[in-house]
A = this chain, B = another copy of it.
Amino acid sequence: MNLQTIIQDGALGPAAMWRVEGAGALVCFEGIVRPIEAEQPIAGLRYETYDPMAERELQQLAAQAIRDFGLLDVRVEHSRGFVANGDCSFRLRLAAVHRQEALAAMDWFIDRMKRDVPIWKRPVLVADPSSATI
């Protein structure tokens, strides 16, 4: 089964080139840290991950997406630690024969990830760098 999940320190870099044999649709979602959280300006978000489990849950979600939506390939990347606002903390790429299954799977995957994958985020306020650590 073609899937890859990566949890890495800090912001994600630009997406690598991606070609998938037989794919007619490649869909990429990037989650970007916004400059405002709960109406307060923030410097960024700090992500805390329960690593072995987060990785395992992402792998299971990716495998299920491939099975249930008939995808050809799934790539997931998520940040751990601090990500400044404007930077990318999450990237999901799906390859499918047709766009419908890719778009449906995209929505499903992100909902499930927020529910099932043990990753927590904490705003780092502009004025309060101490909130960056516990």
Which A residues form the contact surface with B (CB < 8 A)?
14-15, 17, 19-35, 86, 88, 97, 99, 103, 106-107, 110
Contact = CB atoms under 8 A, between A and B. Distances in A.
Nearest to A87: B19
Given A14-B17, A17-B14, A106-B103, A24 B32 contact: yes
A32 B19 CA distance: 9
**Closest 9 pairs (CB-CB, A-B):** A26-B30, A28-B28, A24-B34, A27-B29, A23-B32, A103-B107, A24-B32, A14-B17, A103-B106
Contact of A99 (B15, B26, B110): B110
A34 B12 CA distance: 29
